[in-house]
């Protein structure tokens, strides 16, 4: 799926937010033939796989509402794929990042199962 300029700007805002909060960005838009992850970041000894969802406003629902059970399964698969490919046997988390506002100023992170 091709990212829009708005989507790339939302992902950049989340990456900046993560760095400001002590994360190291390992990859942006990591892709394979079978899966993708918007942002892969590390803080301390934990890898975080972040799915970014942007909405200008919540009038049509929050970004979190767009993480369907199917999308959640894709995120889980991508996390397992990355950990296997990179021989990572440490802790990892799946994170949803909801971004709202014209200037991408509102960022909320939620750990997902």
Asked whether residue 1 is assigned to any structural domain, the reply reads: no
For the chain (length 113 residues), average pLDDT per consecutive 10? 74 95 96 94 97 72 69 92 96 92 83 83
Which has the closest alpha carbon to 15: 6, 5, 7, 25?
A: 25
In a domain, 75, yes or no: yes
Residue 90 is predicted with a pLDDT of 94
Question: For residue 17, what are the domain limits?
Answer: 6-112
Count of domains for the chain = 1
Residue 16's pLDDT is: 96
Comparing C-alpha atoms, which of 88, 82, 5, 86 is closest to residue 50?
A: 82
Report the pLDDT value the prediction gives residue 78, as an integer from 0 to 100.
95
Instruction: Tell me the CATH number at 105.
Output: 3.40.1350.10
Region of 11 please: left (phi>0), alpha (psi -120 to 50) or beta: alpha
> Could you give phi then psi for residue 102, rounded to 5 degrees?
-60, -35
What is the distance in angstroms between the CA of the first residue and the CA of the last residue of the chain?
24
What pLDDT does 106 receive? Answer: 84
Question: 14 in a domain, yes or no?
Answer: yes
Q: What is the pLDDT of residue 2?
A: 47
Phi, psi for 63 (deg, rounded to 5): -60, -35
């Amino acid at each position: 799926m091709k990212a829009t300029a708005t989507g790339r700007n939302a992902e950049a805002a989340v990456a900046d937010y993560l760095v400001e909060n002590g994360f190291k960005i390992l990859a942006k838009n990591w892709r394979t033939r079978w899966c993708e992850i918007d942002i892969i970041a590390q803080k301390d000894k934990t890898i975080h796989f972040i799915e970014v969802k942007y909405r200008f406003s919540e009038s049509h629902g929050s970004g979190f509402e767009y993480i369907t059970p199917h999308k959640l399964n894709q995120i889980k698969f991508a996390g397992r794929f990355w950990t296997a490919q990179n021989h990572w046997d440490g802790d990892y988390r799946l994170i949803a990042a909801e971004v709202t506002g014209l200037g991408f100023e509102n960022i909320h992170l939620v750990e997902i199962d």
